[in-house]
Structure 1
């Protein structure tokens, strides 16, 4: 499943802003990634305590957000470019900040295993999910 890790200053994002970011990233990955089922997209927030991140020996601005997407290989450069552009734009809008505060990265994972099974090639998700034991699908709401 694509995993997007959002890193920001502790307390910077409200629950509403987080949900808006989750909705945007999920939609962007699904649409730009070739109609990936949205239930496969995972978003994780890491909050940094004050004084724990520097760029060029300077404490980063409180409004800074990093979105690091780890996705299965197989997406074109054009798809990945569209993803990072939309993530930057939509997340900055959700936060009410200039897009220069949102840094987005897309990295390919050559092989991953989740839910007790090796992930399929893009486009083969439906059959893969159906093969996952029902108790595991129920645990994560995979339908």
Structure 2
């Protein structure tokens, strides 16, 4: 369901930063939207020097973009989410907010398929999961991660 793409200049995020940030993003999404943690996907992309420009000028130094692709939610909820994503990224990396840009893109659930099924409307996840086979349900729910330690 929610997919988070974290793009950063190479060297900005250590492997430990990535683990902690993935856990923080997952927890933020689950806490604010009520979605199960096993739905959250966090993908990291490192940009090489010369692959990242702002205003037509190469970026030198640290820069992070957190881009969330989520099912459409209320503006109030999304404002809470974006604020928490910024705070978590600042806390995890120690970078000031000017180096962290956060975006939330709404996607209608009818245009998303995960685990082989069109996604449900927010709040309808339990009914949606009733249509899964036992094998598919077990696959969907398996994860070692539950909450940040």
TM-score (norm 1): 0.89
Change in Cα spacing, 1:112 to 1:93, as seen in structure 2 (3 Å) is same
Maintained 8 Å contact 2:12/2:63: no
Give yes or no for the alignment of 1:19 onto 2:3: no
Counting matched residue pairs gives 141
Maintained 8 Å contact 1:71/1:107: yes
Maintained 8 Å contact 2:85/2:102: yes
In the alignment, structure 2 segments of 5+ residues that lack a partner are 144-149
Corresponding residue to 1:100 among 73, 98, 102: 98
Residue in structure 2 matched with residue 48 of structure 1 by the alignment: 47
Change in Cα spacing, 1:62 to 1:140, as seen in structure 2 (3 Å) is farther
Give yes or no for the alignment of 1:131 onto 2:127: no
Moved over 6 A (4+): none
Residue in structure 1 matched with residue 147 of structure 2 by the alignment: none
SS at match of 2:17: helix
In the alignment, structure 1 segments of 5+ residues that lack a partner are none
Give yes or no for the alignment of 1:37 onto 2:36: yes
Q: Deviations over 1:97-116 (max 9, x none)?
A: 10111111111111211111
Maintained 8 Å contact 1:53/1:60: yes
RMSD over equivalenced CA pairs, Å = 1.7
Residue in structure 1 matched with residue 146 of structure 2 by the alignment: none
Q: Tell which deviates more after alignment, 133-142 or 49-58.
A: 133-142
Deviation at 1:10, TM superposition (A): 2.3
